[in-house]
Amino acid sequence: MKKNFFAPRQIETITDGNAQLIRWLESVANVRIHGTTREQPMVVFERDEADALLSLPLQRYARVIWKQCTVHPDSHIHFEKRLYSVPFKHIGQKVWVCAQDNTLIVWADDLRVATHVRRGPRYQTNDAHLPEWRREYRHQSRPWWENRARGISETLGDFVAEIFDLDDVAHQLRTVQAIVTHVAPFPVERINAACERARLYGNYTYPGIRNILRDGLDMAPAYETPFIHGRLDNPRFARSVDEIIGEEVHDERP
C-alpha cells in the first residue's frame, strides 16, 4: 500500500481525488520501472500499443437483455415492472423480449411483432394489438367515457354522468363501459327511452339497461309514480304513535 495511490493521503472531494490520481499516474505509476517488464509503462505503451488501438465506434455500445415472457390474457407482457402490448393472437404464447437502452422489441416465432419505448410509461398499449371490441376499454378516464356517451346521445351522456356521481369512493368505470358499449348499436330513440326509464326507477346498473332494451320496456309506458315495494297505503294493523301511547296497559297476570 505504501507505493499505491491509496496510501494515506488527504482527499477532500471526488474532484480533488481524481485530480490527484491523474498527477500520480503521470508522475509515478507510468514512469517507474515495472516489476515484470523492467520497463516504464508509458514507454511500452507509446512504442508497442498506441498504434494498435482502434478508434471508438461512433455509436455507444448498446447493452442488450434477452428474456422470455408470456403474453397474458390482456394482450400484454410484463418486463421489469412495466407492461407492453403484444398482438392479441399471441395470447398464452411464450415470446422473446430484446431490451436495449431505449427500445424494447418483442419476437414471436422469429418474427418481430411489437416495438415499444423501453423507458416510456409503465403501461404501454398499441391499439392495433387489441381486438377491436376491447380497444375502447383501455381508456380509464371519466371525461373520455362521458364524451363517448355524448357522442351517441346527450341523454346517455347525462345518464353516464349521474352514474359516475353515484359514489365518490367506488369507481363506476366498469359499469359505464358496459352500458356505453352495449347500447351503442341501438337506435338513439331507444337509448334515450331506456335511460329515461332506468332513471325513473332509479336503476343505474348495466343489467338494468340491458334488460330494458332486451325486453322492449323502453317502448312500454312507464308509471308516472313508480310502485315502491314494501310499503302499503293502508296497512290493516298499523296504528299511529298517539294511539299506541294513549292505550292503557293491562296486566292480566294472576
- Give the mean model confidence (pLDDT) for residues 200-218: 92
32 versus 127: the higher-pLDDT residue is 32
What confidence score (pLDDT) does residue 212 get? Answer: 94
Q: Tell me the three state secondary structure of residue 26.
A: helix
**What residue segments make up the domains of the chain, in order of their start?**
14-50, 65-131, 139-219
- Give the mean model confidence (pLDDT) for residues 213-234: 73
**What's the distance, CA 122 to chain centroid?**
7
Q: Are 118 and 104 in contact (CB under 8 A)?
A: yes
Within the chain, residue ranges assigned H as helices are: 14-24, 41-44, 142-152, 154-164, 173-183, 188-200, 206-214, 241-246
pTM here is 0.45
User: Residue 10: is its pLDDT beyond 60?
Assistant: yes
Q: How far apart are CA 113 and CA 229, in angstroms?
A: 57
Q: How far apart are CA 83 and CA 129, in angstroms?
A: 13
Average pLDDT, the chain: 86
**What is the length of the chain?**
254
What confidence score (pLDDT) does residue 167 get? Answer: 77
Q: What is the pLDDT of residues 43-98, one digit of tens each?
A: 999 999 999 999 888 888 888 999 999 999 888 999 999 999 999 899 999 999 99
What confidence score (pLDDT) does residue 141 get? Answer: 77
252 versus 215: the higher-pLDDT residue is 215
User: Residue 1: is its pLDDT beyond 60?
Assistant: no
User: Residue 156: is its pLDDT beyond 90?
Assistant: yes
User: Residue 7: is its pLDDT beyond 90?
Assistant: no
- Give the mean model confidence (pLDDT) for residues 137-152: 83
User: Residue 6: is its pLDDT beyond 90?
Assistant: no
- Give the mean model confidence (pLDDT) for residues 234-239: 75
Q: Are 212 and 218 in contact (CB under 8 A)?
A: yes
Crossing angle (nearest 10°) for helices 173-183 and 154-164: 160
138-147, 154-163, 200-209: the lowest-pLDDT one: 138-147
Beta strand 111-117 with 76-79: parallel, antiparallel or unpaired? Answer: unpaired
What confidence score (pLDDT) does residue 215 get? Answer: 92
Q: How far apart are CA 44 and CA 253, in angstroms?
A: 123
Per-residue pLDDT band at 254 (split at 50, 70, 90): low
Sheet containing strand 103-108, edge to edge, reads 65-70, 94-99, 103-108, 111-117
